Amino acid sequence: PLSLAACQATDLKKVGDHVVTVAQQPHLNQHLTSYYWSTNTGAPKPLVLKFDDQGRLFISTSCNNLATGWVISDQKIVTGNIAATMMACPEHATQQEQLASRLFANTQINFSLSTTDPLNPTLTLMSADGQSYVFTGKMTPETKYQSQGEIMFLEISPQTQSCQSGTGQCLQVREIKYASNGVKLPVDSIWTEFNAPIEGFQHNLHEQQIIRVKRYPIKDAAED
């Protein structure tokens, strides 16, 4: 959980009871990069922001993915030109993409950070036309587990089996390794029970899948 100073913002729109501005919080960059920030705009998927510590802002929409540079200056988020993928999308998804482009393309954005709920902070962005957009923060795995994680590949069986603990159905997985030239190495033929959640993964009962994941150790636990 983040511990942020509670204060009254005088030059930005206030959201909630506690607001942090740049001048009052020198570590705001770290707070922005510690979360995924999302808001619903009526499109099929939320609009999601990811600030990284290399000065890059990645924007996921229901259509194309966007990217730009970012820096905090004069109590504003300053962005650069937008780069984007070029998929054709339905109109309602395209509208969300256009909104993201207008909001983040080569501009200076007034913002405030609310910490009424430290586990679910909110980031409010004010567009040039005065419209406010409230984004809810979700901790990145790196923030949650205080680790960069280990990249690995898992093969997932379409069939599940009853967990040995008797708590329902568990995935059946086996690790895959690749040589430095990209050639897939032989895998163990034995499937292993996997009863932990895999964030962002949707199991398919009709398809064997290979996924790239990051594994994070859980502190004070015997196993990952």
Q: Which residue has the tokens 């895999």?
A: 198
Dist. CA 40–CA 25, nearest whole Å: 27
As given in the structure block, the two tokens for residue 3 are 């511990």
pLDDT at 220: 61
pLDDT at 70: 95
Is the pLDDT score of 74 beyond 50?
A: yes
pLDDT at 58: 97
Instruction: Give 5's pLDDT tier (boundaries 50, 70, 90).
Output: very low
Instruction: Give 78's pLDDT tier (boundaries 50, 70, 90).
Output: very high
First to last CA, the chain: 21
Share of the chain above pLDDT 90, in %: 43
Helix (H, G, I), strand (E, B) or coil at 99: helix
pLDDT at 22: 39
Is the pLDDT score of 138 beyond 80?
A: yes
Is the pLDDT score of 14 beyond 50?
A: no
Dist. CA 220–CA 9, nearest whole Å: 39
Mean pLDDT of 58-73: 94
pLDDT at 147: 77
- Condensed to tens digits (0 to 9), the pLDDT of residues 211-222 reads 888 888 776 644
**What is 34-64 written as a DSSP string?**
TEEEEE--SSSS-EEEEE-TTSEEEEE-SS-
pTM over 0.75: no
